[in-house]
Amino acid sequence: MNGPTHAALQETRPGENEFLALLKRSTQYHHQALEATDISRLLMSPSLNVEAYTRILYAFYGAFAPFEAMLLEALKNNRINFSIDFRASLAVEDIRDLTGTFDPSILLCPPPRQQQPSTAKALGTLYVLEGSKLGGKVISRQISKTIGVTPLRGGRFFAGTGGSGTEGWKEFRSQCESHVKLFPLSAEEIIESANDTFCSIQDYFDRFYSATS
């Protein structure tokens, strides 16, 4: 990684708490690109209907499930003490609530599985997935208004399993800051992994929307 991000890493000494602010700045472009996809915009549209929402749940499941499987293995093998509240299975429950079934043939093929990721790569992916839980609370309130789904029926994926959604985020922040303090050179790898995760989800959303619209 070269250019502004590399220079900023040198200036901020990423072993300090400023790293998370740098991580946010360095991934903002790809984060906003994901929020600008047709899937993301339709989800927050006042014209959303249950049929379209169900397709969106398939898109989130297809994009998130491979990352969750990777993280489960990565955290175990790298011995990271982090409890992940996986959500892909909640999307399946929501789809079954709304349609009575779950059809895996609707899903697109995920990207080729990567080699076993490092701790830094896992933390980059966690930044995206844990951060999405915070936005999920906003989405949960919106879809409750537009199509009437609730955290108990049809809206589990975005509402989460309870709480404010900040517990996992705080735990991630602590783990990430501690790791960068111990291994300052891992900062670039975390940022790169987070951007790769945003891009992968965006690509899946774009391909899924084109295939199902």
Cα distance between residue 90 and residue 100, in whole Å:
14
pLDDT digits (tens, 9 = 90+) for 140-177: 999 999 999 999 999 999 998 765 567 888 888 998 99
Given a cut of 80, whether residue 135 has pLDDT beyond it is: yes
Residue 1 included in any domain: no
Distance of CA 58 to the CA centre of its chain: 14
* pLDDT band with cut points at 50, 70 and 90 for residue 2: very low
Residue 184 included in any domain: yes
Average pLDDT estimate for 93-98: 98
| Of 163, 157, 174, 175, nearest in space to 71 by CA | 175
Greatest pairwise CA separation for the chain in angstroms: 54
pLDDT of 33: 98
More confident residue, 84 or 194: 194
Residue 83 included in any domain: yes
pLDDT digits (tens, 9 = 90+) for 9-36: 444 444 446 899 999 999 999 999 999 9
Domain count for the chain: 1
Residue 71 included in any domain: yes
Containing structural domain, residue 38: 14-212
More confident residue, 185 or 7: 185
Residue 9 included in any domain: no
Residue 3 included in any domain: no
Whole-prediction pTM value? 0.89
Phi and psi at residue 164, to the nearest 5°: -85, -10
| CATH, residue 117 | 1.20.910.10
Residue 89 included in any domain: yes
Bridge partners of residue 150, in order along the sequence: 153, 154
Average pLDDT estimate for 59-73: 93
pLDDT of 7: 43
Q: Which two tokens stand for residue 160?
A: 């989460």
* pLDDT band with cut points at 50, 70 and 90 for residue 59: very high
- Token look-up 């429950």 returns 93
Residue 98 included in any domain: yes
Given a cut of 50, whether residue 4 has pLDDT beyond it is: no
Q: What three-state secondary structure class fits 153? A: strand
Given a cut of 90, whether residue 79 has pLDDT beyond it is: no
Phi and psi at residue 69, to the nearest 5°: -65, -40
Among 3-7, 130-134, 159-163, 183-187, where is mean pLDDT lowest? 3-7
Is 201:51 a contact under the CB 8 Å cutoff? no
